[in-house]
Structure 1
Amino acid sequence: MALPLLEYKPTTQNQRVSSFGTADINEDTPYIYRIETANSPSEIERLIWAAYRQVFNEQEILKFNRQIALETQLKNRSITVKDFIRGLAKSERFYQLVVTPNNNYRLVEMCLKRLLGRAPYNREEEIAWSIHIATRGWNGFVDALIDSEEYTQAFGDYTVPYQRKRMNVDRPFSFTPRYGADYRERAGIVKTERDHSWSYISSKKLDGTALLAVLLVMSAGITLLLVLNWLGINTGF
């Protein structure tokens, strides 16, 4: 039996605060892609690539990752944008690129940003959703986010998700690395503080060993000179 989603208290974030007048319409407002306004094949293509950028990340927009069957269905209007986003997040390529290398906490952070357009509220929310992944699986987690009331209110059936109310001081979610620090550490891509500490200790051990070797050589040389002098052999020193 799957566990229900644990309760957590939302914290204040920009997208939870009502705007006044045209506060949302400024240089920080992303272009919003809606299929209702896509009246030509080129506009549909732009919407599709916007969906890929949102779900797969800016660094992973490759033709190899395309889901042609889903694209065709969307172009024929046989599925909604919401279903297209769901299909991308459940695709085998997304699973290989994003799900496999990351732990559940990292997946929660990335998918809240990419599918709901916001960061996690707090650690409690990350824990609640990570348990949801563990008990209901990846597809169940994706369905829970996309079928949520929050997604419906923010994007509905026809809008590509976007980072809601981003300020220009914030890094765009679309540039969030798909690899977490733990994966990069295991793969040797980056050195952690622990690695640097070990390198420092190793270098100190190496310095101590080298010093001991020099002292032993000097001691042996002095001993040899003393023995030769005792035997009456002139060494020239």
Structure 2
Amino acid sequence: MSIPILNYSLATQNQRVNGFETSPGEEQPKVYTTDNLPTAYEMDEIIWACYRQIFSEHQILSINKDPFLESQLRFNQIKVKDFIVALLLSDSFRYLNYNQNNNYRIVEMCIQRVLGRDVYNEREKLAYAVILADKGFNFFIKLLVNSQEYEENFGQTTVPYQRRRLIAQRTRGEIPFNLKTPRTNLAYMNKQNSAQLLSSTALRKFRPQEQTPKAGDPALFLSMVNDVSIISR
């Protein structure tokens, strides 16, 4: 018997209230969609937006791209939603994100990038973390993309985006979700005994040649004093 999703209350976030912006600015999201029969150049932008939304800016590498899926999207054999799901379930996303974080961080990250909003509260994060642990990552992703919230905001043809980054009563916007680091914090890495972050080897310092002290440099006086004190003993 599978564990049902826990109940959680919704919170008043920016994307759930009406905005009062008088003119579009940098915080206004740009919508990428295939509804209007995009040109080849516009399709390149749509594909790029998909990679940027799911992988974040610093993970868009040539090895993470899938030319076959891109070709299917260009020739309308699959929808944008199918392309998004394929990127989320790819080996690259699993290796770079799922394998590097705990379930709570994965839930937060995927809700941000798939539903375009932050988690409502810790209760929602816990509810999806339980589903993720019980049903697995594939089930969790399909639960998000097949949700009513995803359908109402993005449908089959629109690339997910961060909805309304403008913060109430402020002039600046939030940091875009896809610019936040996908790595987990140091506390969790300590539990995983990560060798690359917890190396006990002393770091070697390198001093460029032009910074090496020359004769008469005051930096050499201390070593001279130490030499004299050793000889006097």
| Amino acid corresponding to residue 138 of structure 2 in structure 1 | N
Separation in structure 1 between the aligned mates of residue 144 and residue 111 of structure 2, nearest angstrom? 8
Aligned counterpart, 2:184: 180
Aligned-partner SS, 1:35: coil
Residue aligning to 1:4 = 4
The one-letter code of the counterpart of 1:125 is E
Partner residue in 2 for 1:139: 138
For structure 2, the 5+ residue unaligned runs are 167-171, 199-233
Shift in Å, 1:37: 3.3
TM superposition score normalised by structure 1: 0.75
Instruction: Tell me the alpha carbon deviations over residues 106-140 of structure 1, each in whole angstroms, 9 at most, x when there is no partner.
Output: 00110011100111000000000000101111000
In 2, Cα distance between the equivalents of 1:151 and 1:189? Answer: 38
Letter in 2 for 1:176: K
**RMSD over aligned Cα atoms:** 1.8
C-alpha contact (below 8 Å) 1:24/1:165 kept by paired residues: no
* 8 Å contact from structure 1 (residues 105, 127) kept in 2: yes
CA distance in 1, matches of 2:142, 2:23: 29
**AA paired with 1:171?**
I
Aligned CA distance change for structure 1 residues 187 and 35 (closer, same or farther; 3 Å): same
Asked if residue 97 in structure 1 is aligned to residue 96 in structure 2, the reply is yes
Look up the SS of the partner of 1:29 in the other structure. coil
Say if 1:101 and 1:183, in contact at 8 Å, map to a contact too: no
Per-residue deviation, residues 73-127 of structure 1 (Å, max 9, x unmatched): 1111011101110110011111111100110000011001110011100000000
Q: CA deviation at 1:184?
A: 4.7
- Bigger Rg, structure 1 or 2: 1
Q: Which amino acid aligns with 1:16?
A: R
Alignment of 1:130-209 (within 5 A): 130-167=129-166, 168-181=172-185, 182-185=187-190, 186-187=193-194
From the superposition, tell whether residues 24 and 4 of structure 1 become closer, same or farther in structure 2 (CA, over 3 Å).
Answer: farther
Going from structure 1 to structure 2, the CA distance change for 1:27 and 1:57 (only over 3 Å counts) comes to closer
Which stretches in structure 1 are left out of the alignment for 5+ residues? Answer: 192-237
Distance of 2:133 and 2:23 partners within structure 1: 37
1:28, distance to aligned residue in structure 2 (A): 1.2
